[in-house]
C-alpha cells in the first residue's frame, strides 16, 4: 500500500477515522471440478478457496491510500470485504474504525471508495476526479 497526504479539502468533513484491519482471511466455497464433471451432478462437493490470507494494514484519516498489486492479487476483494460489499460469513480477522469494531451496515456513513470500474471523465485531473467522486458520496450541507 502507498500512502500520501490528501490534497482534497471539502466543505463537509466528518470526524477523522482510521480504518485498521488485522489478519483478514476471506474464503469462498467453490464446486469441486472433478465432481461437477461426473455423471452424478447432484452430488456436488464444495471446497474452500482463500482469496485473502492474513492481510493486515491501516487506512489513516486524511491520507490517500493506493493498494497496488498484480491482477488477481486480491486488491478489490480486500476493499469489498472492508466495505462490507461481500458476505462476512467466511471472514476471519479484525476490522476496526478508530480502534472500535464497526457495524458493516454503517460503513457508508463514514467511508467509501472509488471502484475500479467507475466511469471517469477523461478531461479531469486525478484531484478533480477524486473530489467529484467524494462530492457525489457526501451528503449536501443543509
| Separation CA 72–CA 62 (nearest Å) | 28
Query: Looking at residue 135, what is its pLDDT?
Result: 76
Q: What pTM was computed for the model? A: 0.65
How is residue 24 annotated by DSSP? E
Gap between the Cα atoms of 17 and 48, Å rounded: 33
pLDDT at 8: 47
Q: Which residue has the higher pLDDT, 19 or 118?
A: 19
Q: Which of 38-42, 59-63, 81-85, 122-126 is the least confident region?
A: 38-42
Residues 99-115: tens digit of each pLDDT: 888 767 777 677 766 66
Amino acid at each position: 500500500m502507498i500512502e500520501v497526504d490528501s490534497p482534497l479539502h471539502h466543505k463537509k468533513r466528518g470526524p477523522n477515522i482510521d480504518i485498521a484491519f488485522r489478519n483478514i482471511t476471506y474464503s469462498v466455497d467453490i464446486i469441486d471440478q472433478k465432481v461437477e464433471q461426473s455423471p452424478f451432478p447432484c452430488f456436488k462437493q464444495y471446497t474452500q478457496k482463500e482469496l485473502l490470507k492474513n492481510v493486515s494494514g491501516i487506512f489513516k484519516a486524511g491520507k490517500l491510500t493506493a493498494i497496488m498489486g498484480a491482477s488477481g492479487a486480491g486488491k478489490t476483494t480486500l476493499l469489498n470485504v472492508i466495505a462490507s460489499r461481500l458476505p462476512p460469513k467466511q471472514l476471519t480477522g479484525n476490522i476496526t474504525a478508530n480502534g472500535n469494531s464497526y457495524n458493516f451496515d454503517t460503513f457508508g456513513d463514514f467511508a467509501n471508495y472509488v471502484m475500479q470500474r467507475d466511469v471517469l471523465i477523461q478531461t479531469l485531473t486525478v484531484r478533480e476526479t477524486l473530489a467529484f467522486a467524494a462530492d457525489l458520496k457526501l451528503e449536501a450541507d443543509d
